[in-house]
Amino acid sequence: MLQAQGISKHFMGIQALCDVSIEVLGGEILGVIGPNGAGKTTLFNVLTGLFFPDTGTLTLQGRQITRLKPHRRVKLGMARTFQNLEIFRDMSVLENVMVGGHIRLKAGYWCSMLSTSGKRCEERLLKEEAFALLELLGIADKAPQPAVSLSYGNQRRVEIARALISKPAIIFLDEPAAGMNPRETQELSGLIARLKSSLQLTVVIIEHDMNLIMDICNRIVVMTEGKVLMSGTPNQIRSDQRVLDAYLGGDIL
């Protein structure tokens, strides 16, 4: 599905990523874990096009995308959420999700200006779909509210709905459970697993909640200091001494 080969990225002296190679397989849930500052978010930023890598190549379904702009990658079926909530602050919850469906709307400039029946029809369908997604995420009752009035947990749900409405083939979730309590986290992990099978999604997820990661991931990549420490199945990761060391005997199971 998606291959990253020898990706490096530095910021003014900080080597955030150093020769990282990963492969995401179609239809899997791939977990990315590692201590803070390991370069997980930077990896997402490179994969989704916010930054271009200093070296290395990216291939999406056989297509070179190394220096493709983010909006082009969305059209190829990529969507993401953000660790530091990047919700549209002036918009309602529903409007936020509708913006996520931008590429699904066919009406161009003139049809939009003249408000043709085709344009109104596709808008209505998109709005229904947005409601359905909000329903799925359990926040349909908040649709007309300003998105910023929601709790962090709910803003993360809005971001997930906003990403899903573009009908992505691959979705990147950066700490989607941050700000959620254990019960909510569990609901989310069930939801991600269900979405993956019902929408045939490929999911790449960064998360610190090890229960969620161990529950739903098919494979896990462990990062430290800008490098891939190891990758494997949840069971392999759980029992690996290097991973335990990297977490300094921390919270990993």
Ligand X SMILES: Nc1ncnc2c1ncn2[C@@H]1O[C@H](COP(=O)(O)OP(=O)(O)O)[C@@H](O)[C@H]1O
Interacting residues toward Mg ion by CB under 5 A: 41, 83
Alpha-carbon gap, residue 23 to 16, rounded angstroms: 19
Give the residue with the Cβ less far from ligand X, 4 or 126: 4
Helices of type H across the chain: 40-48, 70-75, 93-100, 109-114, 117-136, 152-164, 182-199, 210-216, 234-238, 241-246
**DSSP β-bridge partners for residue 222:** 33, 230
| Shortest Å distance, C-beta 228 to ligand X | 12
By CB under 6 A, the residues from 171 to 210 that bind ligand X are none
Interacting residues with other proteins (CB under 8 A): 48-50, 69-71, 74-75, 79-80, 82, 86-91, 95, 98-100, 102-103, 105, 107, 109, 112-115, 119, 123, 162, 166
Q: How far is the CB of 69 from other proteins (least distance, A)?
A: 7
Site for ligand X in 10-49 (CB under 6 A): 11, 14, 16, 34, 36-42
Q: For Mg ion, give the closer residue by CB, 41 or 92.
A: 41
Residue 7: closest CA among 37, 61, 48, 36 = 48
Closest to Mg ion by CB, 16 or 165: 16
Helix (H, G, I), strand (E, B) or coil at 122: helix
Phi-psi region of 73 (alpha: psi -120 to 50; beta: other; left: phi over 0): alpha
Residue 11 binds which of other proteins, ligand X, Mg ion, none (CB < 5-8 A, kind-dependent) = ligand X
Nearer to ligand X, 195 or 221 (CB): 221
Q: CB-wise, 95 or 175, nearer to ligand X?
A: 175
Please, which of residues 59-78 interact with ligand X by CB under 6 A? none
User: For 10, phi and psi rounded to 5 degrees?
Assistant: -125, 150
Q: What DSSP line would sit under 154-189, residue for residue?
A: HHHHHHHHHHHTT--SEEEEESTTTT--HHHHHHHH
Residue ranges binding ligand X (CB under 6 A): 11, 14, 16, 34, 36-42
